[in-house]
Structure 1
């Protein structure tokens, strides 16, 4: 299947940024190498959201690592999705878990982990880690092992 036939809406189009949380921005395409296990890594060093209590901006580096199954997330749609947190008020831990759950819903990866490296506020930084391995597979064990090491 050609990439043009996969129905991707963001790729190659003028960028319209949305600054309110919107998981509908995420798009997926077919993994052409389902016979292989391999890592896909994304790093978003300019993630922002809002503190749900004070409304002050929070800044973070978001790291997403996953092993794809049938579908993969399209990178421009991921960028737009992450930007959509700009005016979203949520705690650091909630942002990381929401991102992970939205990506699981989109592509059902074999394994995924999301790490948030939030800049310090009030002299303390928070680095939430969330992961998931497909139940009943070796990836469920991988999730347990990586969680223990984090």
Structure 2
């Protein structure tokens, strides 16, 4: 089976969804399952809507994970993140939804999702969620990362 056989979006014209669409996420087999390694996606053009005011929220979403058998295909991730554009959700909800959808897709050993939202009303919000596979060393790693978490942000 070829590496791209089950991927339907890669190499095709992009059709962007107008509302939250987790079904567009696609995965492929990790060729290096015997190795622990870190994968980072930096997504600086994330937008969603405030569910109360309908105002747009802008953020950089950072996704870090240690894959196991499956990995997320980047074009499907881009389309998935774009699907939040007209979706009403609080910042914390966006980060947790993204993490849970990626866990459901890939079942990674470890994953963390950080939202670095631009200020609105003079306040910036930086939600962080993580997960380590239960019963493994990654569960303990997730706990350590959560309790020692801080966001390095360049401030004026």
Question: How high is the TM-score relative to the length of structure 2?
Answer: 0.94
Q: Which residue is 1:4 aligned to?
A: 4
Q: Which residue of 2 aligns with 1:21?
A: 20
Aligned position for 1:106: 105
- Aligned residue in 2 for 1:87: 86
1:1-150 matches, within 5 Å, as 1-5=1-5, 7-150=6-149
Unaligned runs of 5+ in 2: 150-156
* Deviation string, structure 1 residues 38-97 (Cα, Å, up to 9, x no partner): 001001000000000000000000000000000000000000000000000000000000
Maintained 8 Å contact 2:4/2:28? no
Paired with 1:109 and 1:122, the residues of 2 have a C-alpha distance of 36
Counterpart Cα distance in 1 of 2:2 and 2:35: 20
Indicate the structure with greater helix content: 1
**Aligned residue in 1 for 2:152:** none
Q: Return the offset for 1:148.
A: 0.9
Instruction: Give the unaligned 5+ runs of structure 1.
Output: none
